[in-house]
Structures are given as structure tokens and as C-alpha cells.
Amino acid sequence: MDQDASRDDVATTSGATREKKLNVFARIALFIRQVFGELRKVVTPTRQELVKYTLVVLGFVVVMMALVYGLDTLFTLLTQYVFGSPE
């Protein structure tokens, strides 16, 4: 994109100029129209998909909890071995 020195609008390499900037209310209206357009594209999962996704997430959380618990236990044992346990 090239900056035209005599004017404040931006020209593309093909020579077409960009439209003038919209005012605040037009930008808000454009944003709301775009939000509704995106919301029309959203697909709601079926009950079976929702149950499957929930079980996958819960399974992942359980696996991660077990991993953190195992590492915590391992580091606790290593620390007690290196520094000695209080008696």
C-alpha cells in the first residue's frame, strides 16, 4: 500500500482508494451486524457429542491430576532422600 502525499487516504497498488473511515455509530452497527453473522455460523452440538466431549475433558483432567500427584510424590521422596527427613 502506498501513502499518497497530497491526500490522507491510502491507495492500493491497483490505484483504488480505501473508503473514508466510518463514524462511531456506523462502526458499532457494523460490529453488531458482524457479531450476529458469526453467531449464525455456530453449530450447537448434539446431546451425544456433548456427553462425549464432557467425558473426554473429565478424563483428561483425571490423567493430569494423576500426573501432577505422581510428580509431587516423586519430588517429595527425592527431597527427603537428599536432605534427610526430620526425625
Contact between 16 and 27 (Cβ < 8 Å): no
pTM above 0.85, yes or no: no
Inform me whether the pLDDT recorded for 10 exceeds 80: no
φ, ψ of residue 10 to 5 degrees: the values are -100, 135
Contact between 4 and 10 (Cβ < 8 Å): yes
CB-based contacts of 17, cutoff 8 Å, min separation 6: 9, 10, 11
Cα dihedral value 36, 41, 47, 48, nearest 10: -160
pLDDT, averaged across the chain: 85
Mean pLDDT of 17-25: 79
Confidence of residue 22 (pLDDT cuts 50, 70, 90): confident
Quote the percentage of the chain above a pLDDT of 70: 76
